[in-house]
Amino acid sequence: MNIQKFRRVSHVISILLKAYVILLVSLILWFTFRQIVNPDSMFKFIYEFSGLSLFQAVRNGPAAANEDLAATIVTPILGIINLYIIWRGSRLFDYLKTGKTPFALEFSNAIKRLSLLMIIIDILSPLFYSLVLTLLIEQGYYFQIGIASNFVVGIILYVVSGILNYGIELQELSDNTV
């Protein structure tokens, strides 16, 4: 792929990701507003952990109403955080569309920060839901630890940032040798 085509593809991907984020933020805000104004509506948030559950403990399991309320609290917050991650990803494509090289410390560090954010959010998501649900249960608890796809993607991006750093060091070594 030539450089001009790569820059155009980066530009298109950046626009698509930003449009996706704007659309979903609007929908989350609209549905959250609808849920607050009319809690008896047919619409409700659902929190489903779709990853690998490493540990789960429940005592006096939550009532359906508590699960619904916890999902109404947790889902929009986690949705906004995940959309922030996508927005930051679109900014990486903005960086590439300008013709700058990905073998720059600034770009590598941005990927590293994004990967760490993805890993941390993926680990904390089920814990946050567990905390909210436990606070809603009168005499009991709900506790879950797990990892999902964001954890794996975060690990891969972390490795990619290390590879980019290694490439930067090799480039510096090559420049100093010549």
pTM as predicted: 0.87
Candidates 79, 83, 78; CA nearest to 22 is 83
Element (H, E) at 146: strand 141-147
Structure tokens at 145: 């630890």
Q: How would you write the pLDDT of the chain (178 residues) with one tens digit per residue? A: 688 999 999 999 999 999 999 999 999 889 888 888 887 777 788 888 888 888 888 888 888 888 988 998 999 999 999 999 999 999 999 999 998 888 899 999 999 999 999 999 999 999 999 999 999 998 888 999 999 999 999 999 999 999 999 999 988 888 888 6
d(CA 115, CA 109): 10
Is residue 84 within 8 A of residue 120, CB to CB? The reply is no
DSSP, collapsed to helix, strand or coil, labels residue 53 as strand
d(CA 108, CA 92): 10
The pLDDT, as a whole number, for residue 173 is 85
List 146's β-bridge partners, or say none: 53
The pLDDT, as a whole number, for residue 45 is 82
